[in-house]
Structure 1
Amino acid sequence: MPPTAVSPTRRRLLLAPALAAALVLVGAAAACGGGDDAGAGDKRVQLSVFWWGGEKRAELTEQALRLYSSRHPEVTFKVTWQGNTGYYDKLATQAAGGNAPDLFQIDDNYLSEYTDRKVILDLTPYVADNRIDLSKFPSSLAQYGQVGGRTMAVAGAANTPAMVYNRTLLKNLGLPEPRIGMTYDELIAWGSRVTDRSRGRVAGTMDPSADYKALWLWLRSQDKDLYRGRQIGFTEDDLTRWFELWRRAHAAGATPDAATLRVANNGDVSRQLVATRKAATSFMWSNQLTELQKYTTDELGVVSYPGDPQAQWARASMYWAAFRGTRHPDVVVDVINFLVNDPEAGRILGTERGLSSNTEIRQLVQAGLTDERMKATAAFETAMVERFGPAPVPPPRGHPRVRALLITAAENVQAGRATPRQAAAEFIAQANAALAG
C-alpha cells in the first residue's frame, strides 16, 4: 500500500464525528456568505499558519500542508513565515488584536506566557479522546507541552542539550573523547589537559556559566530546578557554587579568557568556540551539530552535558499551538495530529525542525538519512531517550529576561567585575523581579 493510502495511526478513524461536523457547519456558513472564502463553494475552510525558519523549512512545511489538502480538499492554508528575529513581536501584535493565526509555531521560551495570556487553545480534551495521539512520543516530550497540567501545545520536533566537541583536535592531541555521564570536575580536568597538550592554542572547554541550559541541568542533577512556579527555583548559595566552579576551571587553565567567552555567550552558532577553534567544546542543542559543522573542516562529535543523563529530558525544539479564538478548532487539531503523526508527513518534514516527536516516524526518517552529521545527531538523541528523566514544567513568563540576566551575571564574574557571591545575589533579586512583573 503506498504511503498516501496508509491510515496514519488513528487519525483517519478519529476524523469523522467532530471534524466532519465542523466542516459541514463551515460549509453552511460559507453558503450564506459568512465563511472564510465567500463564494469559494461549500465546505471551504482556510486556516492561517505562521512559523519562523528559512526557505527549506517553508518548502517542506508547505509540501506537508499540500498533502493534507490533497486528502481533505475542503481545507486550504494561508501560510506566513519569517526569520526568528521579530517573529514574536509580530505574533504578539496579532494576538493583542485578536487576530492570531489559527495554527502557529512557538517554543518553550513563550509557551507559558501565551498560555497565561489565554492566547492558546487548551488541547487537553483532544489528547484525552485521542484526536491528538501522543502515545508514540517519549513521555517527557509529551509532558513538556503541559502548563499547569494542561496540554497547551504539541512538540513538532525534539532535541536535547548536547556538548559538541572537536574530534579531529582530540585525535591529533592523543586525548580521549568526552563521554556521557562524566562529571563537571572530570570535564575541567580533561579540559586542562587539552589546553596543556595544545600548548595553549586551544582551550579545553567553553565556560558555560552563562548558559541557562547548563545551569538548569546542573541543578536538576542535585534534585533542584531552574524555576519554582513564578520564582527562581534555587538559592544564592547554589548560583555562587556554579560561578565558583567555572572560576576554578579558568584558574586551572581549562577555559578561555573573558573576551573570548563573551563572543560566544549569546549562542550565535557561527561564533561558537568549537567552530572557531578557540575551545575543544561548545554547549549547544543536539540539532545544531549540522550547522556548526559548516564552520569548520574539523570533524565534530556530540555527547551529553556533564552530569547524570537523567537530569536531561526530551525537549521540544518547537511546538505547534492553536489560537484559542480559531473558528475551526477541530480542523486545526486534526492538522496538528497529521503533522506529528502521519508517516508521509514525517518523511516530508524530515529533520528540518529536529527529530520527529513520534518515535516510530523518527525511525523511518532516520533510516533514510544520508548526511553524516544528521546521522550522528539522530543516533545521539536515540541513545539518550532511554536515559532521559521526567520533564520539568516549561519556563514561566519572564524566562527570556532571566536568560539575559544570567549572561550578564556570568560575564561579570568571567571579567572579574563581580565575585561569584555578588553576581549571584544581584541575579536572584533581578530575576525574581522579572518573573513577578
Structure 2
Amino acid sequence: MSGTPRRRLLATALAAVLLAPLAACGDDGGESPAVDSTKPVELSIFWWGGDARAKLTEEALALYTKKHPNVTFKKTWQANQGYFDKLATLTAGNDAPDIFQIDDNFLTEYASRNVTLDLTSYQKSGKLDTSKFPESLWKYGVVDDKLAGVAFGENTQGLVFNKTKLAAANQPLPTTGMTWEAFIDWAAAATTATKVPGTQDPSADYKAFWIWLRQQNKDLYKGKELGFTAQDVTAWFDLWKGARDRKATPTADVIREGNATDITKQLVVTGKALTSWVWVNQLPELQKNTKDELGVVAYPGDPKAQWARAALYFSVYRGSDKKDVAVDVINFLANDPEVGKVLGTDRGLPPNLDIRASVLGSVTDAAMKTSIEVENTLGKTFGPSPQVPLKGHSTLRSELIKAAESVQAGKATPAQAAEAFVTAAKSAISK
C-alpha cells in the first residue's frame, strides 16, 4: 500500500477531527442542483490509474457532458502510489472531490468517518440503477447498512500458472477445485520435474488466507471483530511450512521478493515460481511481461468460497453541494451502453451484466479473454460476498506479511507468529 503508515495515520486522525462538524450536520451539506437544470455545474472527480485509464475515463466523462452540456468536470488522476495519502489530505481539509475512486481496503474507513454519501435512497428511487448488477457485487459496497460506493468492475482471486514450462516437463496443469493438500502435492511434483519451485508461498497473502478461512466456514471479519483465531492462523502457517519443507515453494528470500514486487514482476513472470496468487483480471498484465503462455484457475479448495469482489468503487463526497448530479454521473458511467464500450474492461468486468455481455464480444486479447472466461465460470458458483473489510485492513495486510515472513525466515514458529499477528490485527481494527 502506498505511503508510510505514519503519514496515513496522521492524515486519518486529522481528517477525523476536521470532519466532525460535517458528521454532525446530517446528509444535507447544501442544496444540490437538479440533474436536468441548465445552470452550469462543475464536478470534481479523482481517480487512480495509468495513462490508458485516464484517456478512457476522460472520453466517458465527455459523453456525459455531450448529453448534459451544463455539466463539466475538473478531472484529477494519478498513479496508485500516493493516491490514498492525497485523498486523506483532501478530506482532512473538507476539500474532497465530488466523486472519487476508492477500493475495499479503505471504503469502510471513509464510510465510518462520514466522508462517503449514503447512496441507498438513490438506489431505492431508481436514480442509481443497480438492477443489472449481480446482487453480491453491489452489496459488497454496503457498510453498516449504507451503500457507500458503487462497484465498478467485478473481479475475483486467481491462481496464475506457467503453461509453457509445465507442458515442456509433461506436467499436469493445476485445476479449479483441487484441495490445498492436493495443490501442494502438485507443486512439489512440479518442482522436481521442472527444477522451478511449483508455487509462490501465499502464507503472507491475505487473499489466499481469506479464501482458506471461508472454506473453513469462517471469515476475515465478523461484525466489528476478527473472524478468525490464532489457532486458525497457526494452521495456515503450518500448511505452508510443510510446503516449504517439501521444496514446493521457493526459499524465504525469493518468497519475500514475490511479496514485495508489483504485478509485472511476480514470480510466475520472472521464472522463479510456476504459480502466483493474484486477481483474475491481472492475467493480461502478467502475460505482457513474459514470453511463456500463462493460464489462470481459482484458488485451491471449494471455489464457492470466492465472491464477486468489486475491483474498485466510485463514491460521492458527503459534503458535496452537487450530490444529485454526482450520483447521476456515476449511474451514467455504470449503465450507459456507449460508455460501456469506451471503458471496456479497464476497471474489471463491467458491473452491468447487459453491458458486460456487449463488451465481451469485442475483446480480442487472448489473455483478457481467458481471464473473462474464468471469471464468468467462477461467477456461476460464487458464494455470498463477505462484509467489506474493516478500518485498519491495510495494517492487517502488512502485519500478515510480517508474521508470515518471520516464519519463512525461521525467526518464529507458526504459533508464535500467529499470536503476534492476531494481537496486531486486533489493535489495527480497534483504532
Q: Give 1:230 shift.
A: 2.9
Aligned residue in 1 for 2:398: 404
Aligned residue in 1 for 2:59: 63
Listed as ranges, the gaps of 5+ residues in structure 1 are: 1-20, 28-41
Aligned residue in 2 for 1:352: 346
Distance (Å, rounded) in 2 between the aligned partners of 1:270 and 1:78: 31
- Is contact 1:290–1:374 with CA below 8 Å preserved after alignment? yes
Residue deviations 1:46-79 (CA, integer Å, cap 9, x gap): 1000000011101000000000110111111110
Aligned residue in 1 for 2:286: 292
SS in 1 for 2:152: strand
Q: 2:273 aligns with which of 258, 279, 304?
A: 279
- Is contact 2:34–2:324 with CA below 8 Å preserved after alignment? no
SS in 2 for 1:224: coil
Number of aligned residues:
401
Structure 1 residues 24 and 347: CA distance shift in structure 2, 3 A? closer
Aligned residue in 2 for 1:178: 174
Q: Give 1:231 shift.
A: 2.4
1:154 aligns with 2:154: no
1:166 aligns with 2:162: yes
Letter in 2 for 1:45: V
SS in 2 for 1:77: strand
Q: Return the index of the structure with the highest Cα Rg.
A: 1
Aligned residue in 2 for 1:234: 228
- Is contact 1:216–1:225 with CA below 8 Å preserved after alignment? yes
Aligned residue in 2 for 1:118: 114
Aligned residue in 1 for 2:310: 316
Q: Give 1:133 shift.
A: 1.2
Aligned residue in 2 for 1:84: 80
Aligned residue in 1 for 2:424: 430
Structure 1 residues 24 and 343: CA distance shift in structure 2, 3 A? closer
Q: 1:50 aligns with which of 43, 46, 54?
A: 46
Aligned residue in 1 for 2:204: 210
Structure 1 residues 289 and 431: CA distance shift in structure 2, 3 A? same
Letter in 1 for 2:428: A
Aligned residue in 2 for 1:363: 357
Distance (Å, rounded) in 2 between the aligned partners of 1:415 and 1:25: 58
RMSD: 1.4
1:384 aligns with 2:341: no
Aligned residue in 2 for 1:15: none
Q: 1:258 aligns with which of 252, 255, 260?
A: 252
Residue deviations 1:74-96 (CA, integer Å, cap 9, x gap): 11111000011111111111111
Aligned residue in 1 for 2:188: 192
Distance (Å, rounded) in 1 between the aligned partners of 2:359 and 2:35: 37
Identity %: 53
TM-score (norm 2): 0.91
Residue deviations 1:138-186 (CA, integer Å, cap 9, x gap): 1211110100122110011111110000011111111111111111101
Letter in 1 for 2:295: G
Distance (Å, rounded) in 2 between the aligned partners of 1:136 and 1:389: 18
Distance (Å, rounded) in 2 between the aligned partners of 1:221 and 1:268: 28
Q: Give 1:228 shift.
A: 1.9
Distance (Å, rounded) in 2 between the aligned partners of 1:285 and 1:56: 20
SS in 2 for 1:48: strand
Letter in 2 for 1:339: L
Distance (Å, rounded) in 2 between the aligned partners of 1:153 and 1:314: 15
Aligned residue in 1 for 2:4: none
TM-score (norm 1): 0.90
Q: Give 1:271 shift.
A: 2.5
Letter in 1 for 2:70: E
Letter in 1 for 2:415: R
Structure 1 residues 336 and 26: CA distance shift in structure 2, 3 A? closer
Distance (Å, rounded) in 2 between the aligned partners of 1:284 and 1:434: 24
Q: 2:100 aligns with which of 98, 104, 125?
A: 104
Distance (Å, rounded) in 2 between the aligned partners of 1:112 and 1:24: 29
Letter in 1 for 2:41: V
Deviation beyond 6 Å, 4+ runs, structure 1: none
Distance (Å, rounded) in 1 between the aligned partners of 2:190 and 2:32: 62
Residue deviations 1:224-276 (CA, integer Å, cap 9, x gap): 01112332210111000000000001112211100110001135113211001
Listed as ranges, the gaps of 5+ residues in structure 2 are: 1-30
Distance (Å, rounded) in 1 between the aligned partners of 2:337 and 2:32: 25
